[in-house]
Amino acid sequence: MQYQVPQFIEIEDKIFGPLTLKQFLYLAGGAGICLILFTLLPLFIAVILGIPVMAFAAALAFYEVNGRPLIVAVEHAFGYVLGGKLYLWKQHQPQAPKEKEAPTASAQSQMPVPKLSESKLKDLAWSLNIKDRQQAEVPANKRGGFEI
């Protein structure tokens, strides 16, 4: 049995002339809001408020941010503003500058081997623990940090 595999599934169908369904709904919604503004408000105020509404509706319909629709960027912006944030503060102690020594011939021939100290290992484990908790959506009262 042969089945036909759909192609070009990432491209939306043009339903209303050159517009897709989403583009048409964004523009129709903007026009509807402008119609309500023109019927309820004086002409001068309706024009002042209607221009940004139609500009936003046109941007939602046609403008892309980094190859993605504007509505995705707006959704991410609202998620960032309204979502919880984890603020971490780690105090760094000032270190004295180290004097540079001239490398010897034997030091140049050997490959440097990175050493993992206990404090770096703890820092790495702690940061991984925080990332795991954020991905698992641990409630704020059980998270190790400040939540605003």
User: Cα 51 to chain center, whole Å?
Assistant: 28
φ/ψ of 62, rounded to 5, equals: -120, -25
pLDDT digits (tens, 9 = 90+) for 7-25: 777 777 777 778 888 899 9
Mean pLDDT of the chain: 79
* CA–CA separation, 135 and 133 (whole Å): 5
Binned at pLDDT 50, 70 and 90, residue 27 comes out as: very high
Question: In sequence order, which residues have a C-beta less than 8 Å from that of residue 134 and are 6 or more positions away?
Answer: 86
For the cut 70, the answer to whether the pLDDT of residue 96 exceeds it is no
- Residues above pLDDT 70, as percent of the chain: 72
**Boundaries of every domain in the chain:** 11-83, 84-89+119-148
Distance between start and end Cα atoms, the chain: 59
| pTM of this prediction exceeds 0.75 | no
For the cut 90, the answer to whether the pLDDT of residue 52 exceeds it is yes
